[in-house]
């Protein structure tokens, strides 16, 4: 056992079980995790996984994990996995009144906004996001003053306060559709798009709506280079799949550009022999089990904020019901309208 992570606290739990019993019970999980974690490492995670599984049953909790969470969380303890919006929607519709959001703080806020009467816990309240911290509500008000009458579309990677000052939210998967729908609704030729300038630049290539961009960027995706993409293609004969938060020169090298959910759909459709997922590393790690025939090639970068979520602090959040996320009711109500406008666009697209 890692000395920095002592054995799970036994309070409120059945007595810890023998290692061989755990290995038998979690044999299927072991096969999944063995693809990405050394044998001894995942076996050392088993007491934590088992403790969390038992405790969430006792608490009646649902654990939601973002696609960038590590495999032992994604496969080991999560009840639902997906992108940030999908997790927030599940929080609103699932039967549990207690939600543990394994992701960064804005994701937990979004879950609380859509599920205001539920308790939403985040295992580490310091799990932030460079995009969310790149803009404030005051910045949005200043943009509105500089561009009167121009509607604002905010990426979901923003704080509740920023969402509250926005007309609509979007994800990387539906950004183009939301921008065009908002422009049409407000009879506007332009839309303020924030905070990711690289995502905004990519959206601008997909629509005739003029975008006024903010200068935020993701500290994970901004680090990728076109040279890395070209080197990976040439050396490994790999297809290049890139997230639109990457710089434009990286996207220009890609065979496919899309959101985390779109990447999985592309893999299912194209079935490449080798692929480089130019996004957060855990995305590829978590897709390996679904696509065992695909060889996943680096490069990738780790998100330091996602790494703040661990099995020990998930257990602690459940055990002590700690780090509940709260959003002021007046802020939540206005942010909810922005999220609901986005969801309405999705319903119209599906109709």
Domain locations in the chain as residue ranges: 19-128+306-320, 132-218+328-350, 221-297
pLDDT in tens, 148-185: 999 999 999 999 999 999 999 999 999 999 999 999 99
Three-state DSSP state, 328: coil
- pLDDT value at position 31? 78
In which residue ranges of the chain is pLDDT below 70? 1-19, 38-40, 346, 348-351
Say if 132-218+328-350 and 221-297 have the same CATH topology.
yes
Q: How far apart are CA 140 and CA 160, in angstroms?
A: 12
Angle at 149 between CA 145 and CA 150, to 5 degrees: 90
Taking Cα atoms as reference points, which of 248, 195, 192, 193 lies closest to residue 217? 195
pTM for the predicted model, two decimal places: 0.88
The overall average pLDDT reported for the chain is 91
Query: Which pLDDT belongs to residue 200?
Result: 98
Residue 150 φ/ψ, nearest 5 degrees: -90, 125
Superfamily of domain 132-218+328-350: NadA-like (3.40.50.10800)
- pLDDT for 208-248, tens place per residue? 999 999 999 999 999 999 999 999 999 999 999 999 999 99
pLDDT score, position 35: 72
CATH topology assigned to domain 19-128+306-320: Rossmann fold (3.40.50)
pLDDT of residue 307: 94
Domain covering 221-297 assigned CATH 3.40.30.10 in the classification: no
């Amino acid at each position: 056992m890692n000395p920095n992570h002592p054995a799970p606290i036994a309070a409120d739990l059945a007595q810890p079980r023998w290692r061989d019993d755990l290995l038998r019970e979690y044999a299927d999980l072991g096969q999944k995790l063995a693809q990405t974690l050394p044998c001894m490492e995942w076996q050392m995670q088993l007491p934590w996984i088992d403790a969390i599984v038992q405790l969430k049953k006792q608490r009646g909790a649902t654990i939601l994990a973002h696609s960038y969470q590590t495999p032992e969380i994604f496969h080991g303890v999560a009840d639902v996995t997906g992108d940030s919006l999908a997790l927030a929607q599940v929080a609103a519709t699932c039967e549990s009144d207690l939600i543990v959001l394994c992701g960064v703080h804005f994701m937990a806020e979004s879950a609380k906004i859509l599920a205001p009467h539920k308790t939403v816990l985040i295992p580490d309240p310091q799990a932030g996001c460079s995009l969310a911290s790149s803009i404030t509500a005051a910045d949005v008000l200043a943009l509105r003053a500089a561009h009167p009458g121009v509607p604002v579309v905010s990426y979901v990677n923003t704080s509740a306060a920023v969402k509250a000052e926005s007309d609509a939210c979007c994800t990387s998967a539906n950004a183009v559709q939301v921008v065009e729908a908002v422009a049409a609704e407000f009879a506007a030729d332009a839309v303020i798009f924030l905070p990711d300038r690289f995502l905004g630049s990519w959206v601008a290539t997909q629509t005739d709506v003029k975008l006024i961009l903010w200068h935020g960027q993701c500290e994970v995706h901004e680090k990728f280079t076109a040279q890395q993409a070209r080197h990976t293609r040439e050396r490994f004969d790999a297809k290049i799949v890139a997230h639109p938060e990457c710089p434009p020169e990286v996207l220009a090298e890609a065979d496919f550009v899309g959101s985390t959910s779109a990447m999985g759909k592309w893999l299912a459709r194209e079935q490449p022999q080798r692929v480089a997922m130019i996004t957060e590393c855990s995305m590829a790690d978590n897709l390996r089990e679904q696509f065992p025939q695909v060889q996943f090639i680096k490069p990738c970068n780790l998100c330091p904020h996602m790494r703040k979520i661990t099995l020990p602090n998930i257990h602690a959040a459940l055990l002590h019901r700690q780090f509940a996320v709260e959003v002021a009711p007046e802020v939540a109500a206005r942010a909810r309208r922005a999220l609901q406008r986005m969801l309405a666009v999705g319903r119209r697209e599906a109709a």
